[in-house]
């Protein structure tokens, strides 16, 4: 696994105290679509708890870590969701890991957003494309599909314990519209969740759209 570390972080950072690596170092994705990378951390002489963050993504993209906080020496998965409105191009993405004492390490990957969608033939549209809710609440979006074959709808990336239901879950030749109901769990953790809505055709083609779900915490007096 190749390492990509920044030797010029800050005077307080000891060389080799902890490092990051990314696998793979290059990602390519259409619009809309998603990609994942594994972020591995390597511990140094001292124990650290690291908080992960990412910069350099195209406008509208959503990044999530599973988990976002790790002990040095452990790995996490970075998922990047690219909306249809993202501008095509090559983006140098930086992954940051910060310890409680402020020490930081960085790793880098190259993200290429293609001009054309990788899922041609089946188009999926959402209205609205995003929603903010609280744990234990219901939210919804209208899913419109254009297709020349029957399709079956599914979702990926919902928070643990959350139920996602389509009404209906199958659409005929020509497509149509349905409603996606999302019932968040009362114990759902606050955060941003890029939910991938997929329409899979009878001949194996797939169309996707990204629903940006944000779960907020309960305000306390």
Residues of the chain with CATH 2.60.40.10: 19-113, 123-215
pLDDT at 80 over 60: yes
Q: What is the pLDDT of residues 196-213, one digit of tens each?
A: 898 988 777 888 888 888
Report the pLDDT value the prediction gives residue 55, as an integer from 0 to 100. 92
Distance between CA atoms of residues 35 and 165, nearest Å:
24
Structure tokens that stand for 38 in this block: 């594994």
Percent above pLDDT 90 for the chain? 34
pLDDT at 221 over 80: no
Q: Report the chain's mean pLDDT, rounded to a whole number.
A: 83
Distance between CA atoms of residues 5 and 106, nearest Å:
5
Distance between CA atoms of residues 79 and 109, nearest Å:
13
Report the pLDDT value the prediction gives residue 192, as an integer from 0 to 100. 81
DSSP 8-state symbol, 217: P
Peptide bond into 185 cis (omega under 30): no
Which listed CATH number (3.40.190.120, 2.30.30.140, 2.60.40.10, 2.60.40.1930) goes with 19-113?
A: 2.60.40.10
pLDDT at 46 over 60: yes
Distance between CA atoms of residues 136 and 26, nearest Å:
38
Residues 148-161, mean pLDDT to the nearest whole number: 88
Half-sphere exposure of 168 (CA within 13 A, CB side): 8
**118 touches 168 (CB < 8 A):** no
Residues 131-151, mean pLDDT to the nearest whole number: 91
**Global pTM value:** 0.56
What is 123-215's CATH number?
A: 2.60.40.10
Distance between CA atoms of residues 199 and 178, nearest Å:
12
């Amino acid at each position: 696994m190749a390492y990509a570390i920044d030797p010029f972080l800050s005077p307080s950072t000891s060389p080799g105290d902890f490092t990051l690596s990314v696998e793979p170092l290059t990602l390519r994705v259409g619009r809309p679509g998603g990609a994942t990378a594994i972020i591995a951390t390597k511990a140094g002489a001292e124990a650290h708890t690291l908080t992960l963050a990412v910069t350099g993504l195209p406008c509208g993209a959503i990044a999530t870590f599973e988990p976002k906080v790790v002990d040095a020496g452990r790995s996490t998965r970075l998922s990047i969701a690219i909306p249809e409105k993202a501008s095509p191009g090559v983006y140098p993405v930086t992954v940051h890991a910060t310890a409680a004492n402020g020490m930081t390490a960085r790793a880098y990957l190259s993200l290429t957003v293609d001009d054309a969608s990788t899922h041609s033939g089946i188009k999926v549209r959402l209205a609205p494309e995003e929603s903010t809710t609280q744990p234990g609440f219901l939210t919804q979006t209208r899913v419109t599909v254009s297709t020349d074959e029957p399709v079956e709808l599914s979702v990926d990336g919902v928070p643990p314990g959350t139920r996602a239901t389509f009404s209906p879950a199958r659409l005929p030749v020509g497509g149509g519209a349905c409603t996606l109901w999302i019932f968040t769990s009362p114990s759902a953790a606050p955060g941003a969740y890029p939910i991938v809505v997929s329409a899979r055709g009878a001949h194996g083609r797939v169309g996707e759209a990204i629903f940006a779900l944000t779960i907020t915490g309960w305000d306390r007096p």
